[in-house]
Copies of this chain bind each other. A is one copy, B any other.
Amino acid sequence: MSLERLLRSEGGAWLTASGPAADVVVSSRIRLARNLRRHPFPPRLTPAEARRVVEEVRAALGTLRLGPSGPLELVELQALEPLERQVLVERHLVSPQHAASELPAAVAVDETESVSLMVNEEEHLRLQALAPGLQLHAAWEEADRLDDGLAERLDFAYDERLGYLTTCPTNTGTGMRASAMMHLPALVHSNQAGELVSTLARVGVVVRGIYGEGSKAHGNLFQVSNQITLGRSESEIVESLEAVVRQLVERERGARELLYREHRTELQDRVGRAYGILTHAYAISSEEALALLSTLRLGVDLQLVPQVRPEVCNELMMAVGAASVQYREGRLLEPAERDVRRAAMIRERLASRQAPRGEA
């Protein structure tokens, strides 16, 4: 997809709130780390070498056809304004580290934002496939198809014994990172989230905020992923993570049921107030917006707010970041003005009849 269309889109197909367990799992993601054999790995890249990596990938993508979602068009990060890069971070298409790259680096995305590729992030290549709901296998198939296509055109660094060679040792082996973006408001509300995170860490599952390492879980959104990539097959990784995610889904649903059964009024009140504030505030921070959208989404899932569609919550949760708000306005804004524009955007989106995208 072209940069223009990418930045202007309202979000990828993975935000549609469809797919299995979409009440708890926003999206499933597979990332594959790959490096090119004949170039130094990213930490040792010179600008000239980095440029060569970008050009090799561009050439490979030029002849690659993935199917109905269209070609992957390469966009160089150096050609972007800082604000535009930040928008890509908020859309989960590049990592914060990648956006900050000083060497030639790039991103490529298909029409639906389901398949994408970072060039010269921590590794030469990070392939990414996203699917709505709990669909790790489907995402893996997508990523695998892209991997196969690229492997025919590029010479990946691979060792018979170690598997794919990578900069970061935690990526070595399959190079696969499987993850699910999960919405866990009831577990957080009932103070079970912290204990679950430490229990999961002991079995090699990492739980983070949605903007990667060290980020806070704003909006009760968590990225749950495997830690171990070496000594296990891709399907083992996908299946073990899927098992963990399924358990979390059941725990979250149980906590929601309990809230609904035993604290219905408090729940209705919190959800109603969240909706009332979101539809009537004139200034709102991204942090408050995410917290209220999380409560609203919970209410939508529990059918307490029939007038709001779940994908609208998903889209808004990805659209309230500072960069997205500013990009939409076409200019940099002071924080106070951002809060005003963010509130207006949320009011408009929730007040509209919420026709599906394109019909609004």
Contacts and interface: CB of A to CB of B under 8 A. Distances in A.
A265 interface: yes
Task: Bin the interface of chain A by size.
Answer: 10 to 19
A355 B289 CA distance: 34
A200 interface: no
Interface stretch (A184-192, A209-217, A270-278, A312-320): A270-278
A307 B154 CA distance: 64
What DSSP secondary structure best describes chain A's contact surface?
A: helix
Contacts of A283: 265-266, 269
Copies of the polypeptide in the assembly: 2
A95 to B, nearest CB: 34
A273 B281 contact: yes
Interface in A257-295: 265-266, 268-269, 272-273, 275-283
Max chain B CB contacts within 10 Å: which of A275, A276, A279? A276
Nearest to A304: B282
A197 interface: no
Contacts of A268: 282
Contacts of A282: 265, 268-269, 272
Interface of A: 265-266, 268-269, 272-273, 275-283, 336, 340, 343
The 9 A-B pairs with the shortest beta carbon distances in the complex, nearest first, are: A276-B280, A276-B276, A269-B282, A272-B280, A268-B282, A269-B283, A276-B277, A272-B282, A273-B277
